[in-house]
């Protein structure tokens, strides 16, 4: 069975196997051609253009739906009428000036879509776009709580309201295809076919803005444990609600070392924020624990009634202070996945571990090709670029007009870092395309930052194994 699994993996497209053992084809006999014929001739696998688009590589994974905050937004920000900065340079500079992403290029849902052979997702608020193979409901400045706002007081669409939007979207899809009936389908359908929803992949990234909201509003530290647990409860409600609506394949992501973003470091006088980082750890661990994911240096001691990291699990660099908030949230995320898997055994839940990914980059940036793990390529955090006190989205209009003068202590014209791929952070809180690609590839086909299985093992290989019986 193990050998058969490896041979079936060898049939996947090359770009879906970037992180799979390179000798996989050598381990399969020449008779694997028979399996190739199976894929071509089997009615349950062969692509039916009437029900599955020609660009779909995996008929059992016909669509992708993303939820959450700015890390997973593919352009809703441009349709909300508040901030159009991501629609212009320097956003998207690393990938054909792609718009609507809080990055220099593609983000994690984009890489998931490409690996699945799907087109890049359109934002759910677009009035005319095709959502035939999925969409992203994510919006910037959103949180898990309905009351969460960003530092400027702006509120995106909260996570559970995105679920409401999805339920309405699914109803619209059913009505759309019922209206078409037995007639010829449009060349670019507006909505997914109703049967797509059960086989689609659902992924979410949310929570960072909730932590910032707690910190900016100076809530009592006594409320912190309950606040974090309620954040995890909402994440659980998101997953169970999507399950009740028909979803069965889930990729839960915890969020990164949010206490060590350039924004947090700038606010915390040059060092990582202890409380925010602790929260991230608790949430991530709660999510993973439900999926029997091993704790990864997550033990805490208590001192004076507050949570602090154990001295033997803190790594030390000259200008880094790994702190506890994100660790707490990471723990809760791990625990949640195991709980969900137990509650819904006919579904599959995997966890993408952005938290450990960020920590590993800080420990050994050269291993990831990173030279600046704690500074941003664009906007506050990089003194030599002349933009310490200004955010990247504030730079776009200045750069476009080649303005001069001083704005919030920044001199223009401002220089963007020459090579974004050498930075962990694109702006003050969002990763560069290079880091999004690395993490997405590992979640899809790796083993370091995904538990308990990657997307190929959890979603694709089981379908191929069914065909071999």
List the chain pLDDT tens, one digit each, 469 residues: 555 555 555 555 544 544 444 444 444 443 333 333 333 333 332 233 333 444 456 668 999 999 999 999 999 999 998 777 888 888 999 999 888 999 999 999 999 999 999 999 999 999 999 999 999 999 999 999 999 998 778 899 999 999 999 999 999 999 999 999 888 889 999 999 999 999 999 999 999 899 888 888 878 888 888 998 999 999 999 999 999 999 999 999 998 888 788 887 777 777 776 566 666 767 677 665 544 444 433 332 222 222 233 233 222 222 232 346 677 777 788 889 999 999 999 999 999 999 999 989 989 999 999 999 988 998 765 555 555 556 787 776 666 555 444 444 444 445 788 899 999 999 988 999 999 999 999 999 999 999 999 999 999 998 888 765 5
Unique residue bearing structure tokens 């692509």: 47
Residue 232: name the closest of 104, 115, 331 by CA.
331
In terms of DSSP bridges, do strands 122-123 and 64-68 run parallel, antiparallel, or are they unpaired?
unpaired
pLDDT at 71: 96
């Amino acid at each position: 069975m193990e050998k058969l699994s490896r041979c079936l993996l060898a049939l996947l497209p090359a770009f879906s196997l970037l992180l799979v053992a390179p000798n996989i084809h050598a381990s399969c006999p020449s008779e694997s051609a028979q399996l190739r014929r199976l894929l071509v001739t089997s009615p349950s696998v062969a692509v039916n253009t009437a029900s599955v688009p020609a660009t779909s590589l995996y008929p059992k994974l016909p669509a992708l739906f993303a939820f959450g905050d700015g890390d997973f937004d593919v352009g809703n920000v441009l349709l909300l009428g508040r901030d159009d900065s991501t629609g212009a340079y320097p956003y998207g500079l690393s990938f054909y000036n792609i718009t609507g992403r809080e990055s220099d290029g593609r983000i994690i849902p984009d890489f998931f879509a490409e690996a699945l052979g799907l087109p890049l997702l359109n934002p759910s608020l677009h009035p005319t776009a095709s959502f035939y193979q999925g969409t992203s409901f994510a919006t910037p400045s959103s949180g898990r709580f309905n009351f969460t706002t960003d530092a400027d007081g702006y509120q995106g669409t909260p996570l559970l309201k995105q679920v409401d939007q999805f339920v309405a979207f699914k109803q619209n899809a059913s009505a759309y295809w019922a209206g078409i009936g037995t007639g010829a389908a449009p060349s670019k359908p507006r909505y997914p076919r109703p049967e797509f929803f059960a086989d689609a992949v659902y992924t979410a990234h949310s929570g960072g803005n909730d932590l910032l909201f707690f910190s900016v509003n100076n809530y009592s530290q006594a409320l912190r444990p309950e606040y974090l647990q309620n954040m995890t409860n909402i994440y659980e409600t998101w997953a169970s609600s999507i399950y009740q609506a028909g979803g069965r394949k889930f990729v839960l992501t915890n969020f990164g070392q949010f206490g060590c973003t350039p924004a947090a470091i700038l606010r915390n006088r040059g060092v990582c924020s202890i409380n925010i980082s602790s929260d991230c750890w608790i949430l991530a661990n709660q999510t993973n624990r439900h999926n029997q994911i091993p704790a990864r240096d997550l033990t805490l001691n208590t001192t004076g009634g507050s949570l602090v990291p154990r001295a033997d699990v803190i790594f030390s660099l000259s200008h880094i202070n790994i702190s506890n908030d994100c660790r707490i949230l990471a723990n809760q995320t791990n625990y949640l996945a195991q709980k969900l898997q137990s509650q819904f055994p006919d579904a599959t839940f995997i966890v993408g571990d952005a938290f450990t990914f960020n920590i590993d980059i800080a420990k050994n940036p050269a291993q990831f090709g990173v030279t600046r793990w704690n500074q941003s390529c664009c906007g506050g955090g990089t003194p030599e670029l002349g933009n310490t006190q200004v955010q990247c989205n504030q730079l776009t209009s200045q750069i476009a007009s080649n303005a001069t003068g001083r704005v919030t202590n920044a001199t223009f014209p401002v220089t963007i870092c020459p090579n974004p791929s050498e930075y962990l952070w694109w702006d003050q809180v969002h990763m560069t395309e290079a880091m999004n690609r690395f993490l997405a590839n590992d979640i899809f086909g790796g083993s370091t930052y995904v538990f308990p299985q990657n997307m190929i093992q959890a979603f694709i290989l089981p379908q191929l194994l069914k065909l071999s019986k």
